[in-house]
Structure 1
């Protein structure tokens, strides 16, 4: 089976994703760290996450119409340019002394609006570069996530160092530049004519019906909804643990987020190889079971080193769930429905995330981190059972 890396356009997409993701992952630490350190409120930090992610489930299905009308390439480039401008606006307004919390919230919400179309367009862009073979697309999604997860390894570690040297908000300049570079890389991709739009509204409704009727896609979406609820809580727990257990050291927060990305990067490399010989459903079930088992180790008090290893191990199994799920969402529907089914699946992944971020911030103010993470491990176990039941059927 031919590797996706033999496709030059695929390599361009992966390079663009890695470049923008490094900057984004630096911001993932820098922005909430700034809010947490200046306000001292985990709830306000959670609110920033909530505001950014909320537009994704709300706008994902209308965004499918935009992708179908404009095409994945054009939407992705426009998304990079808009994200560059919005990200640069935060440090610009701060230096001008005109960045109240409501203005920061408004900018973050606009970033989320851009992401609602950007995320589904990225995945469809992959199929335009590597074709529609199930094994190749699963491997391609795994390699795509390798770029993203490697950025999660590099970005937070660099951010933890830079925050201590130049301040959290100044890191956002680098993120803005990374989006501009990503847009430049994507301009060299071949142009593909967008799908006809006369019946896009009908196709949107038909895509929802197709997702609900297909037992495999329906079960994958339910499991994704569960992980979309639980993993944001784990993400939010990392800077909280750095503050409460490890003397508010930004380097610890950076290394914990880097461990998240490092474990995911290792998992994506393994999945890219396994995808050529293991059916996607079985691969997803194995990944879900492994992630749930390791998450039971997170609630315990432990040294930073073992905590980072535990975070990395739990995240190592996640690509075995996400890459097959996305590949199935891209390939099982008819071609004219794919621009609409993928955003619906994205909504299933993200619909619970805004609530999870907001609720988690409040929970961390009233409950111990260990108690909250124990509940996360129990929920992940239920998601794993759901995927295993799909294999049995």
Structure 2
């Protein structure tokens, strides 16, 4: 009976639960390091510029190497790449406190370590999504729901990790928090080691496969369209996130509590949206789900530019974020399932690299915009852009997927 239930609902299988648990544990550790490592650099060097450089060096390899990393995933398989990535990350993060305590950690060595962490992440991020798909199977609805639950685990980690890091930094120091992160990745590797191996012939490392994956993404109408829309929302929503403290300052008397409520609404809306998507994913096709999410987000974003009480502003932010997982989860599902199996490791990294580049560009652009334009003007432009993305998704949903 248990086997039959697992077959009917892949989300209840032990493989899926292990993948989600491993993702949550490692994500909590990563979010702790996101606070602890910059704090360690700032406290030991006294230089905000060096702290910022650490961020840049760690992020830079991800968009640069995501597409070539797909070759490695195709060659080794998602399970092996994820496990090796967990172990490598644990060793690299543990090297920071180890070398520092041995008085062998000049700043250049720290930069080398964080650059290697970024290199690991370039293959790790795509492999995680493929491993999730392998644990669920080929059903589109189940994979969409699984991706939504994956985002739930990640969003929850973003809430838990920094808060835990702030507490632990006070109690044991930033350096020791890095040990906790290393242990979290070791635990993730242990969980994933028990997953069944997929028997498949290893592919040769060939740049032709990578180019074929890129061509397939741009040639396939569904993938091309939903990628464009998802990338649009991925570019617009960081502008909204950066607008929240600006709104608190300009509209609500620079009240830090309001800024906190707005940011909490962002996280809460996203988390609620992932749960809703997981519940409904098996009843709605990915393209229609994405269209519903895109339209909902666009409609709500038109409410944000206008002056309103802080409570309704928070509700508006939460509602707009609630619709976003209905766009991102189907987009990832189609990236994972629509291409032929031998091209899947080479298609998703293209999309991932584009999104990874778009977010920091959006943050930088938003900072300049808020220097010269009112927050309402910028948010009207965001709502207009989101409406265009929604129209693209609606047009996709109206036409056959084949």
TM-score, normalised to structure 1, is 0.82
1:243-280 alpha-carbon deviations (Å, 9 max, x no partner): 9989897x988776554333222111111121111111
Structure 1 residues 173 and 360 mapped into 2: Cα distance closer, same or farther (>3 Å)?
Answer: farther
Shift of 1:15: 0.3
* Residue ranges of structure 1 left out of the alignment (5+ in a row): none
Q: Pick 1 or 2: higher relative contact order, CA cutoff 8 A, min separation 6.
A: 1
C-alpha distance in 1, partners of 2:379/2:88? 36
Alignment of structure 1 residues 65-214 onto 2, 5 Å: 65-89=71-95, 100=107, 106-159=112-165, 161-162=167-168, 171-198=177-204, 200-214=206-220
1:222 aligned onto 2:220: no
* Residues 1:381 and 2:387 are matched in the alignment: yes
Q: Does 1:272 align with 2:278?
A: yes
| SS in structure 1 of the partner of residue 199 of structure 2 | coil
Counterpart for residue 11 of structure 1: 17
CA distance in 1: counterparts of 2:271 and 2:13, whole angstroms: 21
The CA distance in 2 between the partners of 1:252 and 1:87, in whole Å, is 36
Instruction: Sort the Cα spacing of 1:216 and 1:22 in 2 relative to 1 into closer, same or farther, 3 A.
Output: same
Are residue 316 (structure 1) and residue 337 (structure 2) matched?
A: no
Deviations 1:128-174 (A, max 9, x none): 21211112212222222221222223234444555676666664443
> C-alpha distance in 1, partners of 2:247/2:94?
29
- Report how far residue 107 of structure 1 moved: 4.3
Task: Give the C-alpha shift of residue 217 in structure 1.
Answer: 0.3
Contact 2:76 2:202 in 1 (8 A): no
**Aligned-partner Cα distance in 1 for 2:52–2:375:** 14
Matching residue of 1:260: 266
Measured in 2, the distance between the counterparts of 1:381 and 1:11 equals 36
Instruction: Tell me whether 1:390 sits opposite 2:396 in the alignment.
Output: yes
In structure 2, the CA distance between the partners of 1:84 and 1:275, relative to structure 1 (3 Å rule), is same
- 1:266-305 map, 5 Å: 266-296=272-302
Shift of residue 72, structure 1, vs aligned partner = 0.5
Residue 345 (str. 1) matches residue 351 (str. 2): yes
Does structure 1 residue 326 correspond to structure 2 residue 345? no
Structure 1: distance between partners of 2:176 and 2:244: 22
Q: How far is 1:59 from its partner?
A: 1.2
Contact 1:10–1:126 at 8 Å: present in 2 too? yes
Count of residue pairs the alignment pairs up: 389
Structure 1 window deviating more from structure 2 (57-66 vs 82-91): it is 82-91
Which protein has the larger Cα radius of gyration, Structure 1 or Structure 2? 2
Q: CA deviation at 1:241?
A: 7.5
CA contact (8 A) 1:224 1:348 kept: no
User: Deviations 1:177-233 (Å, cap 9, x if unpaired)?
Assistant: 322221221111112235432374332222222111111100011112223323344
Once residues 97 and 270 of structure 2 are traced to their aligned partners in structure 1, the CA distance between those partners, rounded to angstroms, is 30
Rate the CA distance shift 1:307–1:76 in 2: closer, same or farther, 3 A. Answer: farther
Structure 2 residue ranges without an equivalent (≥5) = 1-6
1:389 deviates by: 2.3
Distance in 1 (alpha carbons) for counterparts of 2:196 and 2:125:
19
Cα distance between partner residues in 2 of 1:304 and 1:391: 35
What secondary structure sits across from 1:352 in the alignment?
helix
For the residues of structure 2 that align with 1:45 and 1:365, how far apart are their CA atoms? 24
Deviations 1:357-387 (A, max 9, x none): 4444555666666665554444333322221
SS at 1:198's partner residue? coil
- Answer whether contact 2:75 2:204 (CA < 8 A) is retained: no
Identify which of 57, 65, 70 aligns with 1:64.
Answer: 70
Does the CA-based 8 Å contact 2:11-2:142 persist in structure 1? no
Q: Please tell me the root mean square deviation across aligned C-alpha atoms, in Å.
A: 3.9
Change in CA separation of 1:58 and 1:178 when aligned onto 2, cut-off 3 Å: same
